[in-house]
Amino acid sequence: MIKVGDTLPQVTFSLRENDESSNPTTADLFADKKVVLFAVPGAFTPTCSNAHLPGYISLADKLEAQGVERIICLSVNDAFVMQAWGQSQNAEHITMLADGGAEFTQAIGMAKDTGTFGGVRSGRYSMLVENGVVKLLNVEAPGKFDISDAQTMLDSL
């Protein structure tokens, strides 16, 4: 599993913004930037929609005031689902990033197989990344939501 001090793996993601598709790479998203990345098991799921994403939406300005240049929400969903979820949550200050094939999630050791429920998904975590290097990592225990929230991230900055 990825740890503090590691460089993020180079992968290509899917992204829908303003109804246009793109395929940014890890370098496009993280090079020369201070980025908060948080991952959720699934778009539109209860904890993700009721607490995890809304927390980052409400504290986006405070995170940016601490020098965070981009806030990314990642899920193993497709880019259309991530765009729709972001729109439904008014997440205009959050990059809703799709890791559709779970390539990134598997490369950092955060994949979990939920079987027939949803297949391969991401574990819940948050990280602070500076110029592609992990500076802070908060990995939740299965079924928990205690340390990957926006307030914990803000307090750590």
Would you state the pLDDT for residue 52? Answer: 98
pLDDT value of residue 113: 87
Residues of the chain with pLDDT below 50 are none
Specify the DSSP element, H or E, that contains 11: none
- pLDDT for residue 118: 82
pLDDT of amino acid 147: 98
Residues noted as catalytic: 48
CATH of region 14-156? 3.40.30.10
Listed as own residue / partner, the contacts of 145-148 with beta carbons closer than 8 Å and 24 or more positions apart are 145/47, 145/51, 145/52, 148/38, 148/52, 148/124
Question: What pLDDT does residue 29 have?
Answer: 98
Q: What are phi and psi of 132, to 5 degrees?
A: 85, 0
**Residue-range domain boundaries for the chain:** 14-156
The pLDDT value given to residue 115:
82
